[in-house]
């Protein structure tokens, strides 16, 4: 019998956000890397860590640490509304994630979502620097 795997954190989070109606309404893409087309806003999900929750049996409840970059699109940057667009996107993502424990997910049960950072860090690799809000979230999930 093969051992059960912990949930794929990035796939879980990105899939949830991608199918969330509030994110779709903003026409934002959700990806694991910088998308090739950057005219519309987008969300980049990166798993920074996944460690065992001390109060749980080993390899059951996992505390995932995510960085979620919420970028403004090129169109809004040209219209000088990039900061507002990135801000709305980040707050929409935050609200969607906060509701994650109440939703059903394939191959995982999410028990809690906590935010440990939510700052504005424009990306200096663009000219002009692209508006971006960064959310740090800790997501507890088990198979």
Binding site for other proteins (CB under 8 A): 34, 46, 48-49, 51, 65, 67, 69, 114-118, 121, 123-126, 130, 134, 136, 138
Rounded least distance, CB 118 to other proteins, Å: 6
Rounded least distance, CB 25 to other proteins, Å: 25
Within 13 Å of residue 87, how many CA atoms lie on the same side as its CB?
5
User: Could you tell me which of 68, 72, 69, 70 has the C-alpha nearest to residue 85?
Assistant: 72
Nearer to other proteins, 25 or 131 (CB): 131
Nearer to other proteins, 81 or 138 (CB): 138
Nearer to other proteins, 11 or 98 (CB): 98
Rounded least distance, CB 18 to other proteins, Å: 20
137 touches 75 (CB < 8 A): no
81-117 exposure pattern, b = at least 16 Cβ within 10 A, e = fewer: ebbebbebbbebbbebbeebeeeeeeebebeebeeee
Nearer to other proteins, 23 or 63 (CB): 63
Rounded least distance, CB 51 to other proteins, Å: 6
In the chain, the N- to C-terminal Cα span, in Å, equals 16
Residue 27, token pair as written in the block: 């026409």
């Amino acid at each position: 019998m093969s051992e059960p795997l912990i949930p794929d954190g990035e796939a879980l989070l990105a899939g949830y956000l991608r199918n969330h109606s509030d994110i779709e309404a903003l026409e934002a893409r959700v990806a694991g890397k910088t998308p090739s087309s950057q005219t519309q806003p987008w969300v980049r999900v990166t798993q920074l860590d996944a460690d065992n929750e001390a109060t749980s049996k080993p390899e059951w409840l996992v505390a995932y640490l995510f960085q979620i970059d919420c970028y403004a699109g090129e169109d809004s940057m040209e219209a000088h509304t990039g900061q507002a667009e990135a801000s709305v996107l980040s707050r929409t993502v935050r609200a969607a994630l906060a509701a994650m424990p109440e939703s059903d997910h394939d191959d995982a049960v999410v028990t809690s979502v906590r935010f440990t950072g939510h700052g504005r860090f424009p990306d200096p690799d663009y000219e002009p620097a692209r508006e971006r809000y960064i959310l740090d979230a800790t997501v507890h999930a088990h198979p």
